[in-house]
């Protein structure tokens, strides 16, 4: 059986849908066990039973401090070892993201997998195109950006879900592989041009002040600022061939996806939160 964790989130539910579209039976899990999902609470190791699971798709539980995420991932991987899981597919973070404020727990989990007796595949997911668009902002009819002239090698959530489904369907073909799943870089200027709206630049300090007033959790502003700074200074624009190779096709149009996300914000939405950050920050 294939089990996808975090299936109440965006990425987990998309992976389940991709598996279903491919005709592959799979089940999901969530903290509360909503609907038909299995209850797996990573903060309560006694709830983690994987005795009938052949392939585990571990969607990062990243919306927390590093030590909390590490404890959660350790609990589920310990259960996987104990209960005889054959293969783990882990949704990690792009190689270019080592400096980001949420990278440590991802790299720890990768090391934990490599040192285990488990068979594994690591999907180093790029940041979402949907996230890039949502981290832009509006001032009336004008789009504003703290990304400067930097680009992001963004990926659509749908492409990442399809890649995870492909690997989970035939894990032996991907055993011991680490894939860097990134797309062609896109910029805020390109998004504004596609939307045919003016673009105003704001400084990182101005964006930081906005986030500090947004009522986020204590760790979230630093996570978000690391994305703004990483893009602005050219650390997240490196692309590569792995996504195309895994999908067997060209990636989706991430510029159009980012523009749609930005357009959906309008001028009445409050400053961006970290709804998507917990997924790969890859849910």
What pLDDT sits at residue 242? 98
pLDDT at residue 283 above 60? no
CB atoms within 10 A of CB 115: 8
Tell me the whole-structure pTM to 2 decimals. Answer: 0.93
Mean pLDDT computed over 153-181: 98
In which band, very low, low, confident or very high, does the pLDDT at 31 lie, cut at 50, 70 and 90? confident
In which band, very low, low, confident or very high, does the pLDDT at 36 lie, cut at 50, 70 and 90? low
Write the DSSP symbol of residue 272.
P
**Helices (H), strands (E): how many in the chain?**
10, 12
Instruction: Report the candidate in 112, 38, 53 with the shortest Cα–Cα distance to residue 87.
Output: 53
In the block, which residue shows the tokens 């999902």?
37
Distance CA 268, CA 278 (A): 24
In the block, which residue shows the tokens 């930005």?
262
Distance CA 155, CA 172 (A): 25
Read off the pLDDT of residues 151-163 as tens digits, 9 standing for 90 and up: 999 999 999 999 9
What pLDDT sits at residue 207? 97
pLDDT at residue 123 above 80? yes
Which segment of 42-46, 69-73, 108-112, 267-271 scores lowest on mean pLDDT?
Answer: 267-271
What pLDDT sits at residue 62? 75
What pLDDT sits at residue 35? 66
Structure-model confidence comparison of residues 272 and 171, the more confident one = 171
Judged by phi (left if over 0) then psi (alpha if -120 to 50, else beta), residue 59 lies in: beta
DSSP 70-88: HHHHHHHHHHHHHHT--EE
Sorted by sequence, the CB contacts under 8 Å of residue 160 that are 6+ apart come out as 11, 14, 91, 123, 125, 126, 128, 181, 280, 282
What pLDDT sits at residue 30? 84
| Segments of the chain assigned E as strands | 2-4, 26-30, 38-39, 55-59, 87-93, 119-125, 137-139, 142-145, 151-152, 177-181, 186-187, 199-201
What pLDDT sits at residue 93? 97
Phi, psi of 11, rounded to the nearest 5 degrees:
-70, -45
| 240 SS3 class | coil
Structure-model confidence comparison of residues 276 and 118, the more confident one = 118
User: Can you give the residue ranges of every domain in the chain?
Assistant: 2-265
Read off the pLDDT of residues 181-240 as tens digits, 9 standing for 90 and up: 999 999 999 999 999 999 999 999 999 999 999 999 999 999 999 999 999 999 999 999
Read off the pLDDT of residues 61-92 as tens digits, 9 standing for 90 and up: 878 899 999 999 999 999 999 999 999 999 99
pLDDT at residue 2 above 50? yes
Mean pLDDT of the chain: 93
Instruction: Report the candidate in 16, 53, 6, 1 with the shortest Cα–Cα distance to residue 164.
Output: 16
Instruction: Report the candidate in 183, 139, 144, 142 with the shortest Cα–Cα distance to residue 160.
Output: 183
What pLDDT sits at residue 97? 97
Domain 2-265, second-level architecture:
3-Layer(aba) Sandwich (3.40)
In which band, very low, low, confident or very high, does the pLDDT at 278 lie, cut at 50, 70 and 90? very low
Read off the pLDDT of residues 127-151 as tens digits, 9 standing for 90 and up: 999 999 999 999 999 999 999 999 9
What pLDDT sits at residue 128? 98
């Amino acid at each position: 059986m294939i089990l996808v964790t975090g299936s109440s989130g965006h990425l987990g539910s998309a992976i389940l849908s991709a598996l279903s579209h491919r005709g592959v039976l799979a089940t999901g899990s969530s903290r509360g066990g909503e609907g038909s999902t299995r209850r797996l609470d990573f903060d309560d190791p006694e709830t983690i039973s994987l005795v009938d699971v052949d392939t585990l798709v571990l969607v990062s539980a990243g919306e927390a401090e590093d030590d909390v995420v590490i404890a959660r991932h350790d609990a589920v991987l310990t259960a996987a070892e104990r209960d005889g899981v054959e293969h783990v597919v882990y949704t990690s973070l792009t190689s270019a993201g080592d400096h980001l404020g949420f990278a440590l727990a991802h790299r720890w989990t990768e090391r934990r997998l490599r040192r285990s007796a488990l068979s594994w595949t690591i999907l180093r997911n790029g940041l979402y195109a949907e996230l890039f668009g949502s981290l832009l902002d509006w001032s009336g009819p004008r789009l504003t950006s703290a990304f400067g002239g930097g680009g992001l090698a963004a990926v659509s959530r749908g492409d990442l879900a399809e890649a995870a489904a492909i690997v989970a369907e035939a894990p032996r073909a991907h055993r011991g592989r680490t894939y860097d799943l990134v797309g062609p870089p896109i910029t805020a200027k390109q998004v504004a041009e596609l939307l045919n709206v003016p673009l105003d630049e704001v400084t990182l300090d101005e964006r930081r002040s906005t986030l500090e007033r947004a009522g986020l959790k204590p760790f979230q502003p630093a996570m978000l600022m690391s994305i703004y700074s990483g893009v602005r200074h050219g650390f997240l624009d490196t692309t590569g061939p792995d996504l195309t190779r895994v999908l067997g096709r060209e990636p989706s149009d991430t510029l159009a996806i980012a523009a749609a996300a930005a357009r959906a914000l309008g001028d009445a939405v409050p400053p961006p939160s970290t709804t998507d950050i917990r997924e790969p920050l890859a849910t």
